[in-house]
Amino acid sequence: MDEIWRRTATKLGEELAREHFNSLPIDPLQIAKNLGIEVEALPPEKKTVSGTLVQAGNFFGIQYATYIESLGFQNFCIAHELGHYSIPGHPEKLLASGIHESHAGFTSSDRCEQEADHFAAGLLMPSFLFDPAMDKAQSGLTAIASLSSLCSTSLTATAIRYAQRTPDAVAVIISEGNIIKYCFMSDELKEIRGLSWIRKDTPLPRDTATYRFNQLQDNVLKGAATDGETNLSSWFDCDQPFDAYEEVKGLGQYMRTLTVISIDELPDEEDEDLIESWTPRFRN
């Protein structure tokens, strides 16, 4: 289960979306304007920050990165700064010197940065609009791609939100070279007994389509895609082998790879109880 502070930050983002929009896409630039915040683009050469929030008295300004030419990326950078502007305590904590420099995109381990990322996801993909759209979309990477264009969000941000909201058993994995950067699991997937979490910065399992895909950097840069059968036990420690489907997509300028693992069918409760009764185990 997500920690409470993550859900609180997401909720705050959703509330701000609801105050300004009743259909997708949510335009964070428009929200900033409505709030009287000045917004400007950073030059594409500026690659060290995803954005900044500036305060001088009652004046607030947002600068956002443009080194990745994608509306989804830029929207997320702006939404992240709106998070710092809106989350109680952030302006006091971050703006003592008048300027805060951000590293958005679920890569920072800093608590404020993570809160602003979850706020941004909630703002751009609020559940009251995202869930009905998700119900109409297909599944896996196809659903993520169509939701990404509907929400004007990056594939990565959309995939993470999809893992949070889908009723299906799904894992979203972001890798770079031979390393898994991070993994988000849907609630349904977490229900599988004995399933372990994938930790940050662990090696990519070699018997997977993603591993083979990442051996050729052009696949990543050119946004190529592949898919194949996989098994959950290739990815996670788990009590039983589960057949799964692996979809892989290169993320271009991000230099990373998105993998979506979906399981068609989980054993129903009765089967699981039966297995449980055969297997003595200790749980705390």
Question: Between residues 80 and 249, which has the closer beta carbon with respect to Zn ion?
Answer: 80
Q: Which residue is nearest to Zn ion (CB)?
A: 102
Q: Which two tokens stand for residue 51?
A: 């954005």
Question: Between residues 119 and 235, which has the closer beta carbon with respect to Zn ion?
Answer: 119
Give me the least distance between CB of 15 and Zn ion, in Å please. 19
Question: Per CB under 5 A, which region of 54-62, 110-118, 146-154, 266-274 contacts Zn ion?
Answer: 110-118
Question: Per CB under 5 A, which region of 111-119, 176-184, 263-271, 273-281 contacts Zn ion?
Answer: 111-119
Question: Does residue 114 bind Zn ion (CB under 5 A)?
Answer: no
Torsion angle of the four alpha carbons 92, 82, 134, 263, in this order, in degrees rounded to the nearest 10: -50
Question: Between residues 116 and 204, which has the closer beta carbon with respect to Zn ion?
Answer: 116
Question: Does residue 86 bind Zn ion (CB under 5 A)?
Answer: no
Q: Among 136, 242, 246, which residue's Cα sits nearest to residue 191?
A: 242
Helices (H), the chain: 4-20, 28-34, 71-86, 90-94, 111-124, 127-136, 140-151, 155-165, 187-190, 209-214, 217-221, 232-235, 269-278
Question: Does residue 102 bind Zn ion (CB under 5 A)?
Answer: yes
Give me the least distance between CB of 144 and Zn ion, in Å please. 25
Q: Could you please report the per-residue DSSP string of 85-110? A: HHSTTHHHHH-TTSEEEE--SS----
Question: Between residues 123 and 220, which has the closer beta carbon with respect to Zn ion?
Answer: 123
Give me the least distance between CB of 80 and Zn ion, in Å please. 6
Asked whether the beta carbons of 76 and 105 are under 8 A apart, the reply is: yes
Give me the least distance between CB of 68 and Zn ion, in Å please. 17
Question: Per CB under 5 A, which region of 27-35, 112-120, 139-147, 196-204 contacts Zn ion?
Answer: 112-120
Task: Tell me how many residues contact Zn ion (CB under 5 A).
Answer: 3
Residue position matching structure tokens 């997977």? 208
DSSP letter for 251, please. Answer: -
Give me the least distance between CB of 124 and Zn ion, in Å please. 15
Residues 6+ apart with CB under 8 A from 227: 141, 209, 245, 246, 247, 248
Residue 164, helix vs strand vs coil: helix
Question: Between residues 95 and 266, which has the closer beta carbon with respect to Zn ion?
Answer: 95
Question: Between residues 111 and 136, which has the closer beta carbon with respect to Zn ion?
Answer: 111
DSSP letter for 176, please. Answer: E
Give me the least distance between CB of 225 and Zn ion, in Å please. 31
For Zn ion, the binding residues (CB under 5 A) are 102, 113, 116
